[in-house]
Amino acid sequence: MAKGLFDRYIWLIDTIYRAGKITFEEINKRWLRTEMSNGEEIPLRTFHNHRKAIETMFDINIECNKRAGYYYYIENADDIDKDKIKKWLLNTFAINNLANESHRLKQRILFEDIPSGKQYLSSIIEAMLENRIIEITYQSYWKEEANTFTIEPFCVKVFKQRWYIIARSPYYDTIMIYALDRIQNLQVTDITFNYPSDFDPQSYFEFSFGIVVDEICNIDKIRIKVYGKKCQYIKALPLHHSQSEVETTKSYSIFEYLLKPTYDFCQELLSHGDEIEVLSPTSLKEQIKEIVKNMSRYITRIVFAYSIFVQSCLMKCTEVQHNYIVAKSFPATFHISTWWCHSY
């Protein structure tokens, strides 16, 4: 399935969803305003084929009310509101489609340029529908050269605007996770596989943060103390679906989680700086302390090396140049570095 066809499906779902009810004639009027149309209407037979494909792929039923004037509507519209992935897909693709409808509007909608690999998404979904093996050429961050191999696609997941495919690797005989933006080439083969009946994507990630599933890491009850205005941020954007607020005061809130304290979760906590404090378990507190300690050592080494460089420059300068460098170029760094050197 071509990427353009996938975009068509999303456009149709979004157009009918936002309209509530809409005639086929009005759908075509709106379609002709898009760049995807190339000035051509959607034939009625093609429209009905799209309806069937949308029902199969997204489990979204586009029905027709013949008594009220042949209005089309989404039968299970409430399900879209409850499904976070469907809602995210619609919002993301719909904004892009709306921007393309008007050149003036296009300049006023700014997108973050993050590699997502979504050009492979339609092919992967097609492979999942038919349980077909995929051959990919993959460039890992940790290897110098790309490798070509086959995988059995189980599900896809989006995390921080990047798409990932969760698949069984026949070579390693285990479930692996691949970032779509690291795929250089993808081909859907004619070979089928048996999708395991005991694999449930929701359960697989239930106690994990983000995309990392660490089989060795144990599930733990985690408590963090959040200070100041950051409390409202964490309430509005929970770090994990298990989040619960167990204590609230004017100056802080305590949140509790049930998950695996993986490296990714530690990085997420650290990204909030001193506005978040780990209360328990002790093992996670020590892990965070060790990371901060290593960061401190690294920064200290940089400051020390930079101070030596600055002082060597100053020793070669005239008095006028010396004063200019101290006053204009390295005031804070120089004084901090000098203090550090003396104390060291």
The DSSP secondary structure of 9-22, one letter per residue, reads HHHHHHHHHHHSSE
| Residue 29 to residues 3, 107, 164, 223, Cα–Cα distance (Å) | 22, 23, 36, 54
Distance CA 323, CA 343 (A): 23
Number of H helices, E strands in the chain: 13, 12
- The mean pLDDT of 339-344, rounded to a whole number, is 36
pLDDT band with cut points at 50, 70 and 90 for residue 343: very low
Residue 340 has a pLDDT of 36
155-182 tens-digit pLDDT: 998 888 788 999 999 999 999 999 999 9
Which CATH architecture group holds 220-280? Answer: 2-Layer Sandwich (3.30)
Question: Considering the chain, what percentage of its residues have pLDDT values greater than 70?
Answer: 81
The DSSP secondary structure of 20-78, one letter per residue, reads SSEEHHHHHHHHHTSGGGTT-PPPHHHHHHHHHHHHHHH---EEEETTTTSEEEETTHH
The matching CATH number, chosen from 2.102.10.10, 1.10.3720.10, 2.30.30.520, 2.160.20.80, for 118-201 is 2.30.30.520
Strand-pairing partners, residue 185, are 137
Higher-confidence residue: 231 or 338?
Answer: 231
249-273 tens-digit pLDDT: 999 999 999 999 988 899 899 999 8
What is the CATH class of 3-106? mainly alpha
Are both 3-106 and 220-280 of the same fold? Answer: no
Contacts of 50 (CB under 8 A, 6+ apart): 8, 9, 12, 42
Residue among 255, 230, 260 at smallest CA distance from 245? 255
Distance CA 46, CA 129 (A): 21
On average, the pLDDT of the chain sits at 83
- The mean pLDDT of 186-195, rounded to a whole number, is 95
Instruction: For the chain, give every domain's residue range.
Output: 3-106, 118-201, 220-280, 299-343
318-329 tens-digit pLDDT: 555 555 555 555
